[in-house]
Every structure is written in C-alpha cells, then in structure tokens.
Amino acid sequence: MTDTSDAATGNPRIGLMAQYLKDCSYENPNAPQSLSNDLPTPTIDVGMDVQVQPLGDNRFEVALRTTATASREKDAVFVAEVLFAGVFELFDVPAEQVQPVCLVECPRLLFPFARRVLSDLTRDGGMPPILLDPVDFGALYERQRAEAQAAPTDGETIN
C-alpha cells in the first residue's frame, strides 16, 4: 500500500502545535456614563497586526494583535486589545514561502478564535459585541509588499 499523504509526498504542510490567548485588555474609562443607551453610537476603529517569532526547527510563534477603539467625538468609550497566538510547525515549505505562510496562512487560521475573544470581551464590557468581517490576509500581505517596494530606501538595499 502506497502512502500518498502530504508527509509522504513532500507537499508543504502547516502544523498548528498550540494556540492560546497571549494577552488581552479592556478599558472602559468613562463607565458607567459611557454605557447609557441615550448616547449616540460610538465610532469604532479596528486595527490588526501580525507578529512572527522564529522558535527554531521550522517552528514559529505567530501572534495576531487586534485592537478595537470606540469613541464619541473626543471621548474614549472603550479600548479592547486581543493578542491571540499559535505555535506553527512548517513541513516541506520552501524557504521563499515561509514569510507568506507565516503572514497569511497562519493568521488566517488564528482569526476566528481572536474574533470570538474580541466579541466576548466587548460584550462582557457592557457594549454590543464587535463582530469582525473576515479578513483577506493575502491581500493585506500583497499591499504591504507593494508599499515596501515603492518606499525609498535612502540608498540601502533590503532583501
């Protein structure tokens, strides 16, 4: 019997060895006044960042930081931050593909869990839960690469 699994054929694979909530914070500086239903709906800004830390032996810690800030005019309503991480092991991934795998595929796997934690956090803070739309990490990665290539390097060459 021939084993045609990815491991036997040498096809690239990603192993999720662990996933965990690395850091989490919620600030509601003007509570209980900020919780009034009579106030206008706050403006909410959401930002995301992906951090990659090599751990050796083709293992990487990938952390997805999601920050949501709500405000009414100049007053802060809440600030929520979730740092959700995972330890990934890459099998048979070509060296030139390690960066895109860590910055696109790994956060894509972590996103649903980070999304749930952020939703629960804002709900538990007395606000309506934030339900993030799916994120196209591939498009974000390509846009950041294009911006980096277009930026002046002041005579330095970065590879």
For the chain, the structural domain boundaries read 12-150
pLDDT of residue 8: 56
Angle at 16 between CA 14 and CA 21, to 5 degrees: 140
Mean pLDDT, rounded, for 104-121: 97
Instruction: Give the DSSP letter of residue 154.
Output: T
pLDDT of residue 153: 59
pLDDT at 10 over 80: no
- Rounded to whole angstroms, the Cα distance separating 122 from 54 reads 31
Task: Please choose, from the candidates 17, 114, 21, 6, the residue with its C-alpha nearest in 3D space to the C-alpha of residue 58.
Answer: 17
Helix (H, G, I), strand (E, B) or coil at 39: coil
pLDDT of residue 152: 65
**Domain 12-150 coded CATH 3.30.2010.10:** no
pTM: 0.82
pLDDT at 158 over 70: no
Identify the H or E element spanning 44: strand 43-56
pLDDT of residue 18: 97
- Rounded to whole angstroms, the Cα distance separating 137 from 19 reads 18
pLDDT of residue 30: 78
Q: Tens digit of pLDDT for each residue in 72-86?
A: 888 889 999 999 999
Q: Tens digit of pLDDT for each residue in 23-55?
A: 999 999 877 877 777 777 889 999 999 999 999
| Percentage above 70 pLDDT, the chain | 89
